[in-house]
Structure 1
């Protein structure tokens, strides 16, 4: 049926049955065969349509088959892709795991570093503190040694100054002329007021610059050639010059003079109380006892009954501690207290 059409088959069947002539066909059968023929034609037409549809369906199936093949290839590609994706996922998981391990390692290292840094800082601070304490202690010891040495040097310098001024006296209140000879003026003063003659001097001069319109005369500083002459003038002056406006005082370095000025109020108060008073350089004796204020560098408040008097006989150790080297050297010389300056 694929090579021969249905109409040809029917035609050949009709010829075999009724012969080659159309007239020899029976009339009754003619109607039936015509109907059959028409039916068969319709069937043929339908079969043709079916065949056509089959061809179309074949084409469609072929297309579907091609598409299915494509789908199969896609499936294979998808399977391969899935395999690759699985491999990538495994690798990513491994990378993530490695990254987490690296992060944990970095965190551990950071903690170890922070701990080591903290410990190092703590140890460094402790070491620096210890070294600083040692340096401070050494510095304090050095400063104390320097201060002690400085005090010793200052004491030695003050003692040397005092020794260089040992033969000096200061005369205050002697009238002054512009072109005077100080030594002649002083010789005349000693002769008239103290009845002392033939005194030899090494130097005699007035202190400071001359001021023409100054009412107060400048002090005269005299360096005696002989200590005995100096002591004769110093011991006679308080009796001979009492009530006058002229004073004779020993000359001391500024350090000793400042300490003496702080002792003058105490000495005057003790004298007013009819107590025995003697001032030897910068040491005050009241009734034979050394007056030892807590701080002679500050002005002392005068009390009616001084309480800062200590007896060296009652407490020799304490008195010895209060005395400096220059004080002990001074006490070796028997010297009479000087007249304090008028304040």
Structure 2
């Protein structure tokens, strides 16, 4: 019978010791492990290692000279002696490129503040522009209303102008008609006055009949035998108060009598008698 071979385990991998920390600097534990490994192989040895300094301050630089430490392992097993790391570091002024970088950062901060101010100013201008836009829209609406009103006023003005022109034309026509009527009235008045005669100095009495008085004057004073036809006779003007006599009696001033003859030949005959 064949014997079953037992599977052998692979040799365990030796854990790799990290010689750098997470920050990228050499780890002292790795150096100690390396020292122990070397001492276990060769008993004791002397070697020097360079340990970089800590991360420098951005405003200071650590001296670039490396520190040499003397490591010596004791011959006694299990005891390793190492000197403590130096506590003093030499610092110097920042390099020019660092100062220039800091200056640029400060300038950038100032510019950022200026940008914030500009942004606030732009926001303020934007709000003002929005307000101006609303005001302009309101003005546009008002101008549109005013244009509509102006158009209505223009139309009304044109209509009124045409009405005034027509009224002026009618007024001219009416004036010509009025003048014609006035001329006709004047002609009629003159024609009417041609049949009238005025009699002055005729004594005025109460309850008199002017027609009878004129007929009596024509028949007695003017010796006109034919009967005179008179259509109307009346006193002209308002009755006034005369002078007071010595016996305290008042005499009234006689008003003239207007007599209208029906026949013009009789009127002319009476007129000739008086002349």
TM-score band (shorter)?
0.3 to 0.5
Q: TM-score, normalised by structure 2?
A: 0.40
Q: TM-score, normalised by structure 1?
A: 0.33
